[in-house]
A and B are shown apart, each in its own frame.
Chain A
Amino acid sequence: MSSFDKTLEIRSSPHILSGNSVSHIMLHVVLALLPVAAFACYAFGLTALLSLCGATLACVGTEHLLCRLNHKPTTVGDWSAAITGLLYGLTLPPGLPLWMIAIGGVIAIVLGKAVFGGLGQNPFNPALVGRAVLQAAFPVSMTTWPVAMAEGRFSGLPNSLLTLPFMTPRYDGVTAATPLSAWKFDHQLASTSDLALGFTGGSLGETCALLILLGGLYLAVRRMLNWRIPVAVLATVAAFTAILHWSDPARYAGPQFHLFSGGLMLGAWFMATDMVGSPMTHLGCAIYGVVIGVLTVLIRVWGGMPEGVMYAILLGNALVPLIDNLLQPRVYGTARKKKGVAA
């Protein structure tokens, strides 16, 4: 019977796990994003398909290559690079040259994630880092918006997409201002239903608010995102813009316009909620959401740019260590009003 003894493993408890895993969570985020991506392909045709694939490939490929260079097992299987790629792709304007997309994707993984030590260590949402760098490097291309639902979008590719590396893209199709810049610079208001359903110009994933909401709710129900974040962001934006609109309807657009336009929905549900870059406590998440909401409105209304969600989230990310440190949970059996980590 001594052979029986030898086969016994000694591991300390717990002997069971919940079965949840990082890759499981990340895979579900990818799944929740797929309808949004599919709609982008419908609205912008082949361009969108190629852009999204290019962005995802650039991120996943970079991640894989970095692991190889560091002689570590590849971390592509945790799906986090795929999320970064897909999200990053969805923030891009349709028709952006593929070479720019590739550069942004590499930057997202290298500067957004790898330099901090990889998954879990990155303070900022890598997808937004990639996008922010592109915005700074190629301001014109990043703000040229081909119209959605264009004729012939399934049969051909715009020249701009296939621009040779380091060449300036030439836009041949019809371009138009996004609803946000149309409002900001020309004071034209898009209809709420067009905004919600995605019939307006904008970046690939900015358009169909309803599908974003659907994917986000799915993740919230499965507890794979903290619903307090999007709810706080959206409620703050709604309240803030409602007050502004009420004070001067001619100058400030109403809350329904702000809620459904630009990258707010995608940002609130899928980028601000990135677990790595958001606070750990529920209260922290709510505060973080409010901060992002306020910053978004400030930038949209008084900033130089029509859209502010991206920078608002990056700033929110930067505040997370502070929020987490101030909101350590009160330990059971200790005095009720103890702040911070004082012993």
Chain B
Amino acid sequence: MRSSPHSKTFAHGVHPPECKDDTSALPIRQFPFAPVQVVPLLQHLGKPAIAEVAEGQEVVRGQRIARPDGFMSVAMHAPVSGVVQRIGLAPAISGRMEPAIFVRPFPGSTQEPAQGRPVDARTATPEQIIAAVQEAGIVGLGGASFPTHVKLKLPDGKRGDTLLINGAECEPYLTADHRVMLEHAADVMAGIPFLLKATGTERAIVCIESNKQDAAAVMRAAIPPGQPVSVEVLPVKYPQGAEKMLITAILGREVPSGGLPIDVGTLCVNVATCAEIGQLLPRGAGIHERVLTVGGPGIRKKGNYRVPIGTPLRFLLESVGYEPDLTRVFLGGPMMGQAVSSLDIPVTKGTTGVIGFTARETGNVAEQREHPCIRCGYCLEACPIFLNPSMLGLLARNEQHQRMADDFHLMDCFECGSCTFVCPAHIPLVQHFRISKRAVRRAKAAGK
């Protein structure tokens, strides 16, 4: 079932070591409940949900416990049957304290998930599907955490023709999407009709990197007869999972600077998101757990786990065990993942993985001395959107943030980290750019 060799991909990019072998063959396992599950009200881009349970109230697993606050918000569901211990502040990955609902599980409960009103892709209208997706609390599970129903509601006057199901999973170490495709192919195929119908797109393409040929074969075999679905295998390259790169790789279309995929008639939905839709909507249920990879050299029992939303990292790491010299934990892959400052941060809907590094891996990076830019041009060749990171780096050093944005397209940088990865002078390029982008945004907000 090998796909014919072809060179569909995007320009530039990098090849970090894949490091997926430790976990890619491990089936998804259910993760136990923590003594207290902490469900943040803001797990997505947009407005926090509004809690609709009270302290001391009993909740059933999968029951809605917070309702969306307007369109740019999604519902939250109880990850476990139990009692609401309190509603208070919990640390978030942003470094701030955010409101969250603390749920203590009932030890004796069967933990049978609650069901609601089923939605059928054949009979539901697009509006009904979009409302159901919001009600199910679904956000982009690929890490972006953008509310999926907002994406599905096309702006007035826009039309899409192609839906890309993103199974690229180009970040090293992460294998959760790979396992979802292998083990939940039927859910993915059940989710696609909802997405097609909601957006009025005509066809869906499942996009998979060539290091997951087995997943491609399973997905191909799972396509129901007559469905406008195909599978494309792409050469392995980072950051192919980025929406813009994927669209260019598959369709040869280029999303305009500052624009959205729909501007070129395309929508991208992560494969795990699609599987959740296919799984939850027919049962009228809400998202209360997700599949993620727990791995990296600092982790003992590596694997792909179905983890209840709101599981604190401390519980997660203690359950799987970690090496004594674990020095860094980050959520997501090593290229774009965010390092955590506190282990009280819970797993959220956007957590694609929990990766632990020991002093050995982090030491390698930390010991590298920064040199001046030697103008090698490697960063220009790495940047998938053709920026000039070397020049941006010089300007950032002089704090010319506005000039970076005006003349060198700083705001087009989506912080993939490829430039920093390749720089032989060890200049923290993307780290500079994050600071500069923040400065430009702040200046713009102040100028309004």
Contact = CB atoms under 8 A, between A and B. Distances in A.
Interface in A317-333: 328-333
B20 to A, nearest CB: 14
A127 B102 CA distance: 68
A155 interface: no
A1 B385 contact: no
- SS class, residues of chain B in contact with chain A: loop
A21 B388 CA distance: 19
Contacts of B357: 15
Contacts of A12: 338-339, 430-431, 434
B327 interface: yes
Interface stretch (A207-215, A263-271, A275-283, A292-300): A275-283
Contact of B361 (A16, A119, A341): A16
Interface in A153-189: none
B343 A78 contact: no
Contacts of B424: 18, 20-22, 24-25
Interface string B336-348: 1111111100000
Interface string B235-253: 0000000001000100000
B365 A17 contact: yes
Given A13-B336, A16-B334, A17-B365, A334 B409 contact: yes
Contacts of B368: 17, 21
Interface residues of B, number: 69
Contacts, number: 166
Interface stretch (A2-10, A47-55, A134-142): A2-10
B364 A328 contact: no
Interface stretch (B28-36, B68-76, B195-203, B373-381): B373-381
A24 B422 CA distance: 13
B339 A333 contact: no
B106 interface: no
B372 A119 contact: yes
Nearest to A331: B409
B254 interface: yes
A343 interface: yes
Nearest to A336: B254
B89 interface: no
Given A10-B339, A120-B371, A120-B375, A329 B254 contact: no
Interface of B: 14, 16-17, 172, 244, 248, 254-259, 314, 326-330, 332, 334-343, 355, 357, 361-362, 364-366, 368, 371-378, 380, 384-388, 390, 406-409, 412, 415, 417, 420-426, 430-431, 434
